[in-house]
Amino acid sequence: MELTRVPRSDAVPYSLAIHGGAGNRDAALTEAETADRHEGLRRALIAGRDVLGRGGSAVDAVCAAVVELEDDPQFNAGHGAALTAGGTAELDAAVMTGAGAAGAVAVSTHARNPVLAARQVMERTPHVLLVAPPRALLADWGLDTATPGEFVTPRRQEELERTQRGLTEGARHGTVGAVARDSAGHVAAATSTGGVTNQMTGRVGDTPIIGAGTYADDHTVAISCTGDGENFIRGVVAFDVSARIQYLRAELGAAVESTFAERLDATGGSGGMIAVNAAGDVVLGFNSAAMYRGYLDGDQPITLV
């Protein structure tokens, strides 16, 4: 697997990492596509950094970063998400704070930014996971709404058609996420996805499943995952990293490597994750062919495509 360790910087009292999805690519990116991916990741890092730089919370920062990625049709979340077998976008998202609060939505078709709907579930309801939140409820929460068709792009329609014709596997992976540690020492994670191209209507992956695709604990780590969702669910992958840190006193990078080896490699699972621990150290790792990702080096955005 490929692993990047980013020790906490002495220059700033916060840490931030993001991902824009992991998986195989049907074709190499063009020079223009590469530049566009770098710019999209950079915008997300800046959005999160702006929050952290003014003393904002980790949860505010990860939500700000993920909103930028949801609004960017290059990534598989929000506008431009992968389409189901029925040609619709069914969106999943989750948010979790290091204090243990969590909220998630699945099969969302009306929230313009599903990550913000997940946050409202966390903050406004006694629940953790809400399926298919109705438009009226989202509007009552003060969230921007959209018609289901507004998430669909020509690129994703073409991708779905090619997948159904057997010409490509389509976007087998693709998720966006962010993890942060703020200046007060709190961590948070947020993840958002459109799932898998040509997935069955109603399918839900690991993204909104707390402990599988998203997890945060101030004492250990904040994690956001991307990859073969079913394998991440079966392996309870995000929590497994936290457990290794808590119970085995594992170093962050070693915990990530061990989780991949034992919970994903052993079952044929593929994907990646980003993580920030209680000290502010960051790790970005993946066992797939590639992963869009980025982090702050001090306060400078670094993007990798």
Distance between CA 101 and CA 210 in Å, rounded?
Answer: 10
Instruction: Provide the sign of the torsion angle of the four alpha carbons 15, 19, 23, 25, taken in this order.
Output: negative
Q: 48 near 63, Cβ under 8 Å? A: no
Active site residue 193: no
User: Helices H, strands E: what count in the chain?
Assistant: 8, 13
Residue 28, Cβ neighbours under 10 Å: how many? 7
Q: What is the DSSP letter of 256?
A: H
Catalytic position from the list 109, 175, 226, 259? 175
User: What backbone torsions phi and psi does residue 71 show, to the nearest 5 degrees?
Assistant: -80, -10
Q: 18 near 178, Cβ under 8 Å? A: yes
Nearest-10 crossing angle of helices 31-53, 58-70:
150
Residue 279, Cβ neighbours under 10 Å: how many? 12
Amino acid identity for residue 56 in this structure: G
Distance between CA 123 and CA 255 in Å, rounded?
Answer: 30
Q: What are the catalytic residues?
A: 175
